[in-house]
Amino acid sequence: MFAILREHLGAKVNLRRGCPGLRLWQIFVLATLQKALDCDFDRLVEWANCHTALRQMLGHAGFGDKHPYRLHTVMDHVRLLTEAALQATNAVVVARGHQLLKHIRIRFAAGPIQRWQRPLCTGLRMSACCGMRCAA
């Protein structure tokens, strides 16, 4: 996945540190979030600075870590990742997920999976179910 990111970001990125101001992982997480929410950069920076779970995904320790994200730093770096780069990394992540799922299915191939062994979906019920049993 990081090889694809380095290929799309080119010589603008230090392979160990990422771009000045943001690491490669932070650029990827923020770009993915920006595309998923279809939000402007002001909202993205607000989320990066204020949302605890997102800050943990970005690699911050938690309560005491007050590293601020600046608007222009985020704009300059998130714009470097194109839609094609995110789609390529998505393909890699999905392929790896299928490999893990195949491994899990092989592990349970000795017998049928009992109802209590299946993952529990705690989300809202939808007409197109995710394939998990719902808590409600």
Which residue is it, tokens 């994200």? 69
Most confident of 10-14, 18-22, 88-92: 88-92
What residues contact 39, with CB distance under 8 A and at least 6 apart? 33
Whether 120 is covered by a domain: the verdict is no
Whether 107 is covered by a domain: the verdict is yes
Determine the structural domain holding residue 18 and report its residue range. 2-112
| Residue predicted with more confidence, 41 or 119 | 41
Q: What is the pLDDT, as a whole number, of residue 24? A: 83
Count up the domains in the chain and report the number: 1
Q: What is the pLDDT, as a whole number, of residue 59? A: 87
pTM of the model: 0.65
Q: What is the pLDDT, as a whole number, of residue 11? A: 58
pLDDT digits (tens, 9 = 90+) for 33-51: 999 899 999 999 999 998 8
